[in-house]
Structure 1
């Protein structure tokens, strides 16, 4: 079976694998993912695969609407989250929140490690 790919910076890998990061906030160029879709996840820096995720929802959001709940789902403070987003996407304000669940190697929801 063939899956579409999504990459994350390597600094987020351990949080994803430990189910501490359950969303990703992306610009509009990545708004094409669909709920129920299974994605192959790799590190951005070296394209090394490290897991699969299932997309639960893709929701538009404006930068000013980011809140503490988003920060918790990203495993950081709201100030850190806003800083990371501004660094990755300078000058942008329209994003999508991709809510996801990490899958185990059999394609089932992974047991939480935390």
Structure 2
């Protein structure tokens, strides 16, 4: 193999490596945080929609049955009211946000 062929092979390999690296390189911290924020916003919206749909189904299903007991493994439980359900969803969302912030801070600490 001549020097010219070796140089051509080297350049072709370098270009292929650069292109591959661009496609598989991890996102920057800012890009990752923006992506996570978008995903959290989407999850929040879906959970809100799911909450209201479930709330409506519960209203239709248990109309006029306040304090209705549901049989279960522990002898039955009282269905939570709307405010309690909403508060549970809100607390869960906060825990998810806190975990995402911690994970982002951990990643920033390792990359910086």
TM-score clears 0.5: no
Higher RCO structure, 1 or 2 (CA under 8 Å, sep 6+): 1
State the TM-score bracket (shorter-chain normalisation): under 0.3
Going by fraction, where is strand more abundant, 1 or 2?
Answer: 1
Query: TM-score, structure 2 length as denominator?
Result: 0.19
Query: TM-score, structure 1 length as denominator?
Result: 0.19
**Larger-gyration structure (1/2):** 2
